[in-house]
Structure 1
Amino acid sequence: MAPLTLREFSVYGMFVLMFAAILYGRPPVHAKNFEAAFQGECREDSPCQHLCFDLHDGTFECACKEGFTLSVNGYSCIENSKMKDRINWTNSSIWMENGTSIEDFFDSDDIEKIHSVHTINKGHPESLSHTFDEPHPERNHIQLNLDTLGKDEKKRTHRPISYEHLYDNSAGRSLNSLNVHASEIPSPSKTDNHIDIFQPMNTVVVSTPSVHQIFHSCSDLQCESGGICVSDSKSKHKVRCRCPLQRSGTFCEQAVQAKYPRFREGSYLALPILRDAHKSMQVTLEFRPEANDGLILYSGEKLDLQEDFISITLNKGFIEFRFDCGMGEGILISDQPVVLRSWNTLTIYRDRWDAWMQLNSGSQVQGRSKGLFSRITFRLNLYVGGSPNISLVAERTQAKSSFKGCLRHLAINRQVYDFRPRPKGDAIEGVDIDECSADVCSKVTCLNGGQCVAASPDYGVCLCPLGFIGDQCETAMELIVPLFNGSSYLQYPGLGNTVLSFIELQIVFKPYRPNGVLFYNGYKMDGTGDFISLTLVNGFLEFRFDLGTGVAVIRSEEPLDVGVWHTAFISRTGRDGILEVDEQKRVEGMSPGAFTQLSLPLNMYIGGVHDLRDVARKASITESFTGCIQKVIINGKTLKLVDDALSGINVANCLHSCVEEPCKNGGHCEPRMDYYSCHCHLGYAGNNCEKEVTEMIAEPMFTGASYLHYMDESIVKRIRGNKIDIRFKFRSFGPSGLLLWSGKKEMSTSSDYLALGLHDGYLTFQYNLGSGEVLIVYNSTKLDDGKWHTVRAIRVEQEGSLVVDGGMRATGASPGSLNQLNVNNGLYLGGMDSMVSLSMNKYHSGLVGCLANVTLSTDYHIRLITHATTGINIQPCL
């Protein structure tokens, strides 16, 4: 299109541009390109490299940030230090702020090459285009007469100036609605109606052709990123850049990620050759046409389609499906026209000679190909939206132009196509493909760090970070029990090499829809390699994993009810997998091949994934989870759903009692399916921690989820070292539970620890000094009878002994040569936090009972409540 001249702009328009430039902080002369503007609006796909300015008359201009100058192509920016080397000496003019000298910027040889010098002349805006043979000797500034803005002085000084869509292309963000008023303009230094807008600057700018000048030949047009200069089909006097897949713009300078591809004249996408479609095929297509004619899809045996082929075209607004099995084509024509600029759904089913077609809610149209052959041979790629050589296929398809419009869904048989390039997507190649949803976020404002994304080609939605919800992420909230809405997820560090041979996972969840991914961790972003997933598929729970040689699919025997809580447990040892759901029968399966290890370096996801297109295809994940997730335990360690998350999107709170914070006095609410329990701090008790415990507790009672923790050095030093002597009395109302533990903050199989506990009613004493474990079992009698029993446990270097109620002594010794206990996590009594993971799956519950008279080293009596650093759920013994 022809560039607009400066004289075609109103003074008001220039004022808006210049004042907005000052607001943004860029030197006005740097941004100068007044003699050319482009039709349209500033958007993310505009050609401007740094800044784009919408003008008042439906046009826009490119500009550069401070320290850069607009280059000769009119859209990119060059550092000022490099500007001189990029001057187009065959068409160069110098625009200067008066008071500067051309010799300040160029040597004598360069000055001879400059055709003209332009200065900014005081009081005469039209003189911006005036040409001088030499720099003007006077120091002049641009001045603007406010009388051009209106006749009434009072109204004029308060006239709002809206400068919409100042777009920063370098950062990919729109700085919308820079609104100023004339009354905010600095007062003039003189008493007249003239305002000095530009201050003198030592600045020089090369005047260059506009980006939207007419390129008559490819010698004038330099395409980037693999683009090819071609003749424009609309005018024999123009050329343009033909851009490869993932590139767009006048010079192919813009990156494009076409999730919903938009086609124009000359566009096409090439997808892989159709497989298993020779006999029968079902095609589902959702498209939004912008013209009544065009080639939508085709494939076949030969380049000219002279033998076997299929094609879908638009002809005068009607859909035509043509197919030939080798002896004559069949033609199906829709019973109604497409709806332009609206989404249309097309379904085609072909079985050998016969075919059926339905457009939108129209009638089903039937047809049949000619001859005896019933199969179609496909040797060409599947071309969508057009063709590399449309004239070659025009005779068979009856389409002489490309499809113009958008495509949001294409499925053939079981293959749903991803229009991104390989390896992430299915596209082999493409030309001139834009993104249909490119501008859907232009009117969406997301707050508090929310990010707008295209939910479809028609509208954008805000993805809210953790702690915020709402259409615009405007509402802050504390996340307690996560609720996932089908576009949500929580992201965590990947499991990496921690589950090479073994993994156990337990998850408590309540689904609201019968489909969605609960848990996923993979190996590669291109959908290949190892992965593990837990997904709802039509109500059934599927546990899948791939060790690199094939996928194991383990499926629950019965579907799960929606709207109720479920508990699922999965485990994998080598190639063997197990799935248990609620009270259903255990289901087992095995992965094929010889590989036995699972490597998961990518991030782990709960409740959804960042992009469904980036997961392993063999996981068959089609949508994110909709519902609540209450608990996740991986290899005995409870995942802190909020605190452990790296990030999360669109996660709200589930309708649960814990969200109402029922626990008083700082108590912690733990969800338990539809119910909850409160973990009370020391000094408080009751179902909701509402009772204050005032009496001294000499004999504390533990509930199985209770503990006392001691970090005092006088206690810890009597635990670690080369010996220990512990005496206490206890009573237990349950057969199993941890009584005493001392270990490290991060435990491994070789970590030092010491433990006393009950297993099936028998007391055990076990420890590891770094060279191996010893387990000493007092099996003379069971001790879960609710009566008080006295215990003494002694360790001297590697030797240990255990005595109960003054009876026989049980002894043992740890292997190896190490004899010191090195621990750093204090002493726990009655249980501990993160019990399963810290005890390495040795204990799953604390003591259900009471402790008293705990003595270390024969003389140090622990005041169980007073000496405790922390404690949870402690009450007086019954």
Structure 2
Amino acid sequence: MLDSNKLVFWTILVLTYFQNSQGTHEQDEFNRIQFEAAFQGECGHGSPCEQLCYELHDGMYECDCRQDFVLREDGYSCAEINSTVVPSTSPQTKVNYSDVLYQKDAVLDISEIDENVTLADSNDIPNVEISDITSQGPSLEQKLTEVSSDDEKRTTASISTTGPCILDCGLGGLCVRSNARAKQTCLCPLGRGGDFCKEDIDVRSPRFQGSSWLAFSALRGAYKHVQLALELRPEAYDGVILLTGERDDMVGDFMALLLHQGRVEFRFDCGSGEGVVRSEETVLLNQWNHVTLFRHRWDAWLQLNGERHAQGRSKGLFSRITFREPVFIGGPGNTTNIAEKLPVVSGFKGCIRHLEINDHIYNFGLEPKGEAIKGLGIEECTADRCSRVPCQHGGKCLTGPESAVCLCPLGFSGDLCEIRVDLQVPAFNGSSHLRYKGLGEEALTWLDLEITFKPNAPDGLLIYNGHRTDGYGDFMALYLVEEYVEFAFDLGTGASVVTSKYQITLGEWHKVRISRTGRQAILFVDKQPSVETTSPGAFTQLSLPQNLFLGGVVNFGAVSPHIKVRSSFIGCVQALRIGGRQIPILAEALGGANVNNCPHPCVAKPCGEDGECIPEMDYFTCRCKPGHRNQACSRGPPSFSGIDSYLYFNDARTLDSLMADPITLNVRFKSTSSDGLLLWLNNGLGGGFISVGLEKGDLVLRFSNRNEEVVVVHNNTYVHDNLWHRIKAVRDGGTGLLIVDNGPAVTHQAVAVWRRPRPPSPDEEGLFVGGMPHTLLLRTIYRTGIKGCVADIVINADYHLRLVGDRDRNVRECDS
């Protein structure tokens, strides 16, 4: 007996009635009870569960059984599926197969019944046909017969068959007429194609037309756990990707994967309330997207293209899904009443090339070559022609009617994105765009926007920022139409458009400014008279949470239908200012594609590596970094303070030059300190190093040679007098040489042999100038860097080192 004070039991019974196939008498009806039991208390000692116990939520728990066992109708004891004898009962007692049928989500295939059990032995399951105890529910052949008139209505909900449709589409084909056109077409059965379904086609990567679908056998062993991976290439923002469940009328349990307004949605119902998981990001149209889905009992998470996981949970206490229907891919198949449960009723439009559910990868071909039971309107995906266009550097392949092209990321161009581009002034070619964080609520009441651009085509979208991914709701847009500049915006009560008074000239630079306050917007174009407009309605605020696009958009389906042009801008953009702030066009871009350099003086980097070229129409000015001066942004020699002050170089060319043997270093420097490190070179060859520094006023060259340290001391010249000196240091095998100010060479062979283990030296590969980080310096004989300046370093007579390190630390400009 269980402690009544410790456990309070309650049982939920969900009764689902199935008529038997003969339906002769009411008392002969077989009522299949779907059962789950939950109780308050705790798992462990005192639990009523015979085998397994799971915590639900809110203090509730549920019993379960191990593999090859099913839960009995009492909710806590278990029966073995493959046994005809119930343990602890007499050998003559048969398994009550109604235990299996009553158990929610349980599946029992006729092959699992002991071969010794005949139909005469099945007195425990009266009036149940063989098809009633298969894992697939009703016969698939019965469910997926040739399309009847009723099936036709279900399958092609979005297709009008009004009027005669007389095409001979062959066996299993369907003649349809679109609402949008009078032309009659054939939806062919899987494996057939062509205008009249006369051609044999081999489907490896199916393309769905929005009215297509594939069907696979019902899921097995997935009532608690589903793990799914999918690769899809959508051509529209809405559509049913996958649908399966308990019944073909959407009554009871179901699981659906959808595209809804560009986002991937997973909807599932375990029998007591729907759960919804929605991706934060939208899919990329006409590009391959990767979707990963994981569901365990009530909980599910979804991931799109490796971005953040979206999580969700179904309602109620039931945690299992019964799968009796086929798995429909690309559309709802013969499922009805989906509008009552799903926000999308149309089929998916686009390609799918990978489907994996619970570690099983599906073959899209028709049985017996493949695994599909049936399909309608399936084509072979031509997007795989991208396999012949190997885009480089992260480029995305985009297919057109006849060919495939690469959509190149920022910084690359060329047919295969093989050319690296140092972008200065961006140029857009009609398939380009730059993407930024949206204005959000920054433009609620007022917006001040200014852009400098040079158009090369009379039409094109220049700037767009919207509220929704379907093009509806608030938006603001700047675009060209027939060489006129137009600004359009919608505050939620209707779009308003203002157009420039005159056309602009192609191939020349223009400056356009937008000033909007509340419902009023004013357009300024060059020196033309300003033009203004007022938004209709009473709303005064503009909300723009979506990304802002410059030069074009990824998909015009996300652009408001009030915009007159449906093409991207062709030309150059050199400056963008929003809300009084100059936007770094390239530095702040979150992404972009097919952006190249505009022909402009800034492309030649007239300000040098240390200056920023600021375009001003056809000319420019230089903005120099701190410590740089004059028009070309050159700088004086670097100055070092002695403590944690240094330049560090580890670029490929410098590292290559340090590998030479012999190696020659020519250095021009001045110092006020009698001690300090001037140079430290680590060539990465077994910890080998070269150092030049000041030790008690003497200039000293040190380097490693096998298990020895060679020391060359030059004490003939006073070099810490704050005057400029030129030194030459040479290492040739085990010989060292020092020359100061073109004086006599000092060659010395003083050798220190490391009899004890050699003290560790800094092992960071590269060249330090003027000093080192303090932690590395402690591993040398030096404790500080020099106090002074270094004006010139030449390695091996042909490599002049530019004294702007990869990592600078506490470096200032030398006074003289």
TM range, smaller chain: 0.3 to 0.5
TM-score, with structure 1 as normaliser: 0.34
TM-score, with structure 2 as normaliser: 0.36
